[in-house]
Structures are given as structure tokens and as C-alpha cells.
A and B are shown apart, each in its own frame.
Chain A
């Protein structure tokens, strides 16, 4: 068991509002952690702090790379990604105008560090094309490879989102509500995809989610955020039976 991601006293204030309140967490490489909490609990802000989109007011973040924990607190988003932290977005964020294959190719160009190559053709690197094939096969997107993403269904777009984040071979993969806006069939598909990826891929998964069936299904550990702070943290059975958690979800929390 190795710690792959760690935060200490992480805090973010927007004016007088404390969105993330001294969160200290460690994520281990051998478990899937779900972060749950009511709307406005600070889940997405927490992700934005981890990925460098927002700068914390206070606290620190470390990411494991080659055995060492590296301080990534002040890094820019692209540097965080290069350091090995990848994410999917709650609101689908893919390259809509490009085909599925081109989407993955962009990620592989970034991963292989050939962004500044002006001279070769983008699709001429056989090794890269094979890697793209592998990723498309892994995420069951082969049949849609040549389809422009703006012609895909919502569920398919969400899958492309996961394929993209996966393509840079991250140490840690943050999934922000992967089933948001999906119908039950699509949800089943994406849940089994994530379970399958968790088996087949080296990345450590951290998931935020509202869908409780999915959370209990997939998680080894659940962290509950409420009003920006950690309310409960532990194995699913323990956390979900915690009285404070039920209260937070029913909105009758007394302070």
C-alpha cells in the first residue's frame, strides 16, 4: 500500500465563504475512494484545487511520482497533468469538433511530448496509432473511432471523456460525477467500464458521485464532505450508516 495523493490542511476561501475547509486526506493505490456529499459540499472545488485550476488559500498537495511524494500545490493545470494527475469533468469536456480517434490522438501527442513537432504528419506515428487502438479497445470506442464527437450520444461522450483522461496514463485518475445526466442503461455501462478499468489499468481512481448504488458498488472507501470539511471517512458500510452522514444528506444538520 502506497500513498499516491495526499493533501494537508487544504483550504479554499471565496471571500467569506469557505468552500474547502482544512481537508487532510491520503489516497492509497490499492483502493477506489469515492468522495460524496450534498450539492455545494465542495467536491468540485476540491478537484479544482488538486488539478491546479484553483490555487488553495492554504495547505499543501503532494502527488506520488516514481516512489517520491512531490509537492504539486503551486503547479499550473498542465504541469499537474504532466506530473500524473488526470481528471474527467462533471460537465462533459472533450474536443467536440474532432473525431473520437483525433481526441485520443491529442492526448497521446501530449503524453509522448510531440506537441512541438511541426514536420511529421500527426497520424504517421505507427506506435502512437497502435496505442490509440489499444485505448479505444479498452474503452469500447472502436466502432465510433471516426465519428465526430459532436455526433455522439451523451453516454458516448462521457466515455470519450474517460478515454481522454486515461490516455495520458495518469498515476491518479479523478472522476467527477461520471454518471451525471445519464439514463439507467448508460449508467450501467459506464459503471462496468470503470470497474473494468480499475482492474486493467495502473491508475488509482478517485470518484465523486451522487448515485449511491454506484458508490457502494465500486468503493473500497468513502469520504463524506459537508460544507467543505471531511465529515466521515472509512469503509462504505460504516460511513453510510453514520448518523451524521444521514443528517447531512437530509439537510437537518445542526451546527
Chain B
């Protein structure tokens, strides 16, 4: 017994020494991050909730940045797709959930319902994004921002009108994930730990997919269009079509985030299509740094945790947007490359002061240029 524990502690110590002496290799960082992500599930329930929300907002912002940082189009209406994912999911759970459970049995019914709901949520967004994108990408810059804003608010108005009783107006739709039985175990899908791991898996997969897209020939063409649409056209690239495709892909990943959000918040709310929700990925991306792949993730982290930090002080909570305004001004004025850019500058300075100049400037942290 005691020799076992000694063995483990020795190994941990050895790992620590190695990490310090040989530096932070990619492998070690990955192991630590994975370990941290697992440990986090056993933290306080609210922290698990907050971190899950961060993951969802990070995916929302990453998908948004596919269009903004990579293709050069600032959408102010991505809330429409966030809401679309949530509502497609919520409507299936409300209207088809009992039918599906009756058909396949209560053991796995809720899980299959979630699967169907997610597919419907994403499909609904696809159906909306194809025409909305087709119209929007014909415009550029401020006009693009305005038309997407208009579409988002149009979605908001439609949802609160409660057409044919589908959307349940301003109250939104209640989302209950249910309980399944697996190998004799009862698993409550809405349980914060369960839902955290579920979200983590989906967000990690989506992030990888987005990374593959931005490093593919398709993604390189996106960057070229951001830099100079006219030059891209003169090289034979159909800029409008390419922007349209990027718009649709971006909307699909936002829909995935929307589905996850409905499950986490237990509601599909019309305010998800409101411009104030569309502004969240914009703010997160600007804070984190639009020119970095990880920028929106860092920005989403800052956004949620600063907001949480402020909420610790009830006197300030009512005015938390004021702090974000100030933070945003500071970032725009002094940290144009955002949080990730700031971290890289700090890292380079640290390396220089430590005399380790060989590695300086060697990595760009996935900068998308």
C-alpha cells in the first residue's frame, strides 16, 4: 500500500522536475490540460456550469470568427443561428420527445430525442442560413453588419410573435433532457457533470473541425478574400460564392453551440436572437484577438469569468456592461491583437529576459495570417 503511494508520488515529483528542467513540451501541456478538464468536473456545481457555458460561448465565437477574422465579414446577427439551434432542439424535445420515447422505450428514449433534436436544430439553421447568407454576402463591411443585424432582429420578432403557437413567445421553450438507463445505471442527462463532459466532447470535436477548415485550401482562400476581395476575384476566385459557403459553415457551428446552450440553460429563449446576444461573439473575439485561431476562445473565457467576477460584487453587478465597455476600449486602444496577442508579447519578453532567444518568434500561436 505505502510503496504504491510512494511510487506514485515519486513519479509525480519526477514529472514535476522534468517539466521544470525540460520545459513545457506540447505533450506535457496537453496532458495537464486534459487532466485539468477532467478534475474540473468535480469542482463546485456552479463552476462546472460556468465552465460549460464558457465552452459553448467559445464555440459560438470561434464559428463567428470563421466569418470575421478569417473572411473579413463582421456579422452582427449570428444570434439568429444561435437561437435557431436552440429552438430546433427545444421544439423536438417538447413535441417529439414523448413520441420517440414511446417508440424506442424509456431506457434510451431521451438520448435519441437529443440526437434527433440536435440534427433538427442544425438542419433548421441550415435552411435559414442558405437564403440569409445568399442575400447578406452581396454586401460588404458596414452594410453586411447591418443586414445581418436586421435578420437577427427579424428572427427575434418572429419568435416573440409566437407563430402558430410553436415558439411560445417571450417565455421561450422549456428544455428538459430527461434520464436514461444504461447498463442498469440511471444517468440524468441534465446533470451538470454529465452535461459538461458531453459539451466538452462536442466543442472539442467542433474546434478541431474548424481548425481543419481554416488550414485547408478553403480556409486559405478565406484569408485571401479578407486581405483583398478584388485581388482574389482577379485570380479567378468567386468571392461571393466563397463568402456564402463560409457563412453557411459558420452558421452550422453556431447552431451546434445553440443546441448545447438550450440543454445547459434548460430554455430556448427569444433573446438568443436579439442583437445583444449577437454582440457576445463580437466582443469575445475582439477581446481575445480576431487574428488568432485561439483568440475567440480566450475572449470567451475573459468575457464569462470577468462577468462572473463582477457578479461577486452585488453593487457592481447591475453595471457589469460598463466594465466591459471599459475593457473593450482598453483592448481596442492598446491591445489590438487582443488577449492572445498580449500573451504572446509577454512570452517573447519573458524569453528575452531569460536569455532564451533562440525560440523567440518561432511560433505564432496559430496566428491566422
Residues of chain A having any CB pair with chain B under 8 Å: 51, 53, 76-79, 81-82, 86-87, 89, 93-98, 102-103, 105-107, 109-111, 114-122, 148, 164-165, 167-168
Contact = CB atoms under 8 A, between A and B. Distances in A.
B228 interface: yes
A120 B1 CA distance: 51
A116 B218 contact: yes
Interface in B192-234: 212-213, 215-221, 223-224, 226-228, 230-234
A21 B241 CA distance: 34
Interface of B: 212-213, 215-221, 223-224, 226-228, 230-239, 242, 245, 369
Given A81-B236, A82-B236, A98-B224, A121 B231 contact: no
Contacts of B232: 78, 106, 110
A51, A53, A93 — most chain B CB neighbours (10 Å): A93
B220 A86 contact: no
A250 B252 CA distance: 61
15 contacts: A76-B238, A78-B232, A86-B234, A89-B234, A93-B228, A94-B227, A97-B223, A97-B226, A106-B237, A115-B217, A115-B221, A118-B219, A164-B231, A165-B235, A167-B235
A117 B215 CA distance: 10
Nearest to B233: A77
A114 B235 CA distance: 13
B216 A122 contact: yes
B216 A95 contact: no
Given A95-B227, A98-B227, A110-B235, A118 B221 contact: no
A81 B233 contact: yes
Contact of B212 (A77, A97, A118): A118
A168 B234 CA distance: 10
B69 to A, nearest CB: 11
A110 B369 CA distance: 18
A110 B221 contact: yes
A82 B239 CA distance: 13
B220 A122 contact: yes
A119 B212 contact: yes
Nearest to A52: B233
Contacts of B236: 78-79, 81-82, 110-111, 168
A81 B234 contact: yes
Contact of A168 (B213, B226, B230, B235): B235
A78 B233 contact: yes
B227 A117 contact: no
Contacts of B228: 93-96
Contact of A97 (B221, B227, B233, B234): B227
Given A93-B228, A95-B224, A98-B227, A87 B234 contact: yes
Contacts of A77: 230, 233-234
Contacts of A96: 227-228
Of B215, B231, B369, most buried by chain A (CB within 10 Å of CB) is B231
Contacts of A97: 223, 226-227, 369
Contacts of A167: 235
Contacts of B242: 115
